[in-house]
Amino acid sequence: MNCMSELFSEEQSKSKERSIMVLLLWLGLSLLLAEQSNAVRNCHPSCHCEVESFGLFDSFSLTRVDCRGMGPSFSMPITIPLDTAHLDLSSNEMGPLSDAMLTGPGYTTLISLDLSSNKITKISPNALSKLRYLESLDLSYNKLESLSPSCFSGLPLAEVDLSHNRFQEFDMAVFAAKVNGEPLNVDLSQNKLVSVSTTLHGRVLNIQSVNLSSNQLVNVPSMAGLPLRYLNLDANPIKKIKKGAFAQLKELVYLSLSGLSELHEIEPHTFSDLQNLQVLDLSNNSNLKSLQPAVFSGLESLQELNLSGSGVTSLPANMLSQLPSIKSITLGQSIHCWRTQKQGQFHRQIGQVQHNEELHCNVDGIVL
């Protein structure tokens, strides 16, 4: 009897063990399935959705959705997971953006949206209005000619790429409607711009970087009132840069004026407001033959001057007094000049470095 009961209980515990194992297996499997369905839940079959977890115990996660090049057979809005942060809709032959195309669950949490390489000709005034957290918007390589004044209204944008479109005129005021916060970087390069305006009407435009390279600008557009730190005007048909062109750009650190093939004159005192400018790129301006020393007046912080590939072949001897902070000047193909201590002068008076230092180049006869 004793033996029987022992045998019985052994049988019982074995079956208990088995059922626990089955339970565990089932639990594990369902967890795995849950995880999997979590990753693809609401993911459009033509898209690739990826959940990135971070933080302590992976307590934060964000979803990246890649719907590049889905082919012609899709209809907007595309269904995306609820907590999508990054959405790539590039290369989809998308036409005009209507109000309904970027709406639905998942869109309100977007931080970045890539709409590049489509055929977007128009953006309806409220097409982006649901994207309340959008910081980065890529609209490059489209067919945009204009934007409605309110199209970025209420968006906390920090990065907007509008390069490779068809803008002929552009008013920076379109960014006045952005909610305050991070400074904005705008790329408007490779358009057909003949005019850029900044109608402020007392509003503040927190724009720190503007790229206007490869456009059709014949004059430097006025950016007065913007807290710009970077400005690129490369490869525009600008013939002459007039005094006052960079008025009020006191925050500017980097100014690129390269590849202006028609530029032949920069007026004296043109840069006189740019007391914080550190880099001035005047390279590849082959028709710029000479520069009066007064052109550089006011550039107290300038460290780097690039005149390579320009028509300027010599520098005035008093250059250092004009540019008290200069570290390097590049000329011609490979002529480099830099600041050195004048030989035989050891009694350097602090605060009067100009008198004891001179410009030295790796080629003779440059400093006249």
Ligand X SMILES: *[C@@H]1O[C@H](CO)[C@@H](O)[C@H](O)[C@H]1NC(C)=O
> Which residues make up the interface to ligand X (CB under 6 A)?
163, 187, 189-190, 211, 213-214, 232, 235, 258-259, 261, 283-284, 306, 308-309, 330
Q: Which residue is nearest to ligand X (CB)?
A: 259
Q: ∠ at Cα 196 (149, 270), nearest 5°?
A: 145
Closer CB to ligand X, 84 or 330, in the complex: 330
Minimal distance, residue 311 CB to ligand X, in Å: 13
In angstroms, what is the minimal distance from the CB of 170 to ligand X?
15
63-70: long-range contacts at Cβ-Cβ below 8 A with a sequence spacing of 24 or more?
63/106, 65/106, 67/92, 68/92, 70/46
Copy the structure tokens of residue 328.
Answer: 């390097």
Nearest to 300 by CA among 328, 282, 275, 317: 275
63 or 163: CB nearest ligand X: 163
The least distance separating ligand X from the CB of residue 84, rounded to whole angstroms, comes to 26
- Closer to ligand X by Cβ: residue 49 or 196: 196
Residue among 63 and 112 whose Cβ is closer to ligand X = 112
The minimum distance between CB 357 and ligand X, in angstroms, equals 20
- Residue 328: count other Cβ atoms within 10 Å of its Cβ: 12
Whether omega before 77 lies within 30 degrees of 0, making that bond cis, reads yes
Q: Which is nearer to ligand X, 109 or 163 (CB)?
A: 163
The identity of residue 70, as a single letter, is M
- Closer of 78 and 337 to ligand X (Cβ): 337
First-residue to last-residue Cα distance in the chain = 119
Residue number, 129 or 303, with CB nearest to ligand X? 303
For residue 279, the minimal CB distance to ligand X (Å) is 8
Helix (H) or strand (E) holding 3: helix 2-40
d(CA 273, CA 271): 6
Q: Give the DSSP H/E element, type plus range, for residue 331.
A: strand 328-331
d(CA 303, CA 329) in angstroms, rounded, equals: 8
Smallest distance, Å, CB 235 to ligand X? 4
List the helix and strand counts (H, then E) for the chain. Answer: 2, 19
To ligand X, the closest distance from the beta carbon of 347 in angstroms equals: 32
Give the tokens for residue 275: 């007391």
Contacts of 2 (CB under 8 A, 6+ apart): none
| In the complex, least distance from residue 362 CB atom to ligand X, rounded to whole angstroms | 13
Give the single-character DSSP code of 333: T
H-run or E-run covering 60: strand 60-66
Select 67 or 238, whichever has its Cβ closest to ligand X. 238
